[in-house]
Structures are given as C-alpha cells and as structure tokens.
Amino acid sequence: MALTTLKEMAGTRRAKFGTLVIELASPGIGYILKAAGAQFVFIDMEHSGFGFHTVKQLLRYMEAAELPAVVRVPSRHYHHIARALDMGAEGIMLPMVSTAEEAARIAAHAKYPPVGHRGVALGVAHDRYASGSPVTKMRAANKRVAVYLLVETREGVENVDEIAAVEGIDGIWIGHFDLSTSLGVPGQFDHPDLIAAENRVARACVENRKSFGCLVMNVERGIGAYHAGYDMICYSGDVWLLRETLRQGIDDLKAALGRRQKG
C-alpha cells in the first residue's frame, strides 16, 4: 500500500524518502520533487529566509502535487506551531527538544481540545477553506497532524526515553551537526560518541513505536542511516542538489571537451 500521509509514514518502519526545501520556492517545486520520486518534503524555516507567507505558498504547491510536507518552524513557541498548522502544514518539526516536558507542551500546542490547547481556526487553509462541523473538523485535524521532534543536544539524548514516550509525538529526528557539536565532536559523524547517541535514540524510537528520521547528504550515508535504524530519510536539499548536479555536469563537459580539443 502506498504511504500517502505523514501519519501513515510514521506508523511503519519501511524506509521513506524525501528531500529538504530551504531556498527554492518555485510554483513547480512540488511537482518536480514528486516526479523525482520524493515521498515527503521537509520545508525549513529555521535556517532559511522563508517567512510564513512564503511557506504558505509552498504548502499549496505541495498539496497540488499531493506531496506531504513537514515544516520545521523557527522555535518551539506556540504561535509558530499553531500558525504553521493553520497554514496547512501536515506535519511540524521542532528544533532543540531536550526534555519530556518540552515534548508534552509541543504536542499540546499542536492539538485541538480536548487533546491539547491549539486555538481554533476553521474554514481556513488547513481544512481547505471548507465548511462543516467544528467538532468533526477538530477531530480530523488531531488525527491528521504529525509532530516530529529534533534531538540535537546531549541533554536530549539523555532524556530520549522519556521524550519518545510522550503521547502525541510521531517521530524523532537527529540533527547531526548540532548533536555532534553538543557532544564536543563537531562534524565528526563517525565518532563513537555520536554513534552511541544515535543508537540510544534509535532504541527509544523502536521501543515507543516512533518514526526515526534524519537528513543525509549522499547515498552512502542514506544506506548507512537505514541500517542504523532510521526509517524517514531526507536526501539532501534543493541548494546542494542543484549545485552538485550542475558542478558535475560542467566538470564532465570540461573534461570531455578538453580532451577533444587537445586531440
């Protein structure tokens, strides 16, 4: 069965593949990524220049292509979480989560009463501007929204068993650069301390039936990530894919034409 929603993706250990959008907010980007085989897209607000208006447009492009989108909002504040969801994000991702208390607050921010305390806005982007029963709409939203947390600190790893046990959290991702920095080994992704931390988070995800995700920059890392227990694998991003593909093509052309010109 095809996995068509983030909730469905979070409910299986099968590998899911997507990519990051951090720069290119073109109207065609959703269709381009879908045609390339992406199953989900990760829209970043933490490290990009995207504002909410741009993200709202991007979400419409992804909806048109039937490509589920998770938005990493710039903070754990309620107004960032609720605003992204009101704009139609199917999933949200929160940075730098280090305790179960933080995770519980995030889950409550993302869900309507009686599950949480998200402010009610209906007939807007998240429910496709349609009319209908408020109770039915709120229940549907609570079932639809997927919540992901980024564990990026030593404290987060130490508390990951309690974090993963929080109800309403669908998955945990590791932010490798920040976590390696927090562990005192910045950028050393093969360091034993980072691998041990990954393994600890992976076990917590398996034991609590949570999805486990990460960003990888090449195929080799992606294969290794799957064997390490990751099931949601975000392969590179728009900036790096464009840069590296173009660089490779130009380098190949220069090499081939250079040989021919010499001959």
User: How far is CA 94 from each of CA 17, 52, 173, 174, rounded to the nearest angstrom?
Assistant: 20, 15, 10, 11
Write the single-letter amino acid at 29: I
Determine how many CB atoms are found less than 10 A away from the CB of residue 255.
10
Nearest-CA neighbor of 159 among 101, 95, 93, 98?
Answer: 98
Nearest-CA neighbor of 154 among 96, 208, 202?
Answer: 96
Separation CA 62–CA 182 (nearest Å):
34
* Residue 47 is among the residues annotated as catalytic for this protein: yes
Segment (H or E) for 79:
helix 78-86
Determine how many CB atoms are found less than 10 A away from the CB of residue 113.
12
Q: What does the block give as tokens for 206?
A: 């398996």
- 101 in Cβ contact with 108 (< 8 Å): no
Catalytic residue among 47, 77, 109, 126: 47
Determine how many CB atoms are found less than 10 A away from the CB of residue 260.
8
Separation CA 24–CA 38 (nearest Å):
16
What are the backbone angles phi and psi of residue 203, rounded to the nearest 5°? -60, -40
Separation CA 103–CA 109 (nearest Å):
10
Active site positions, annotated: 47
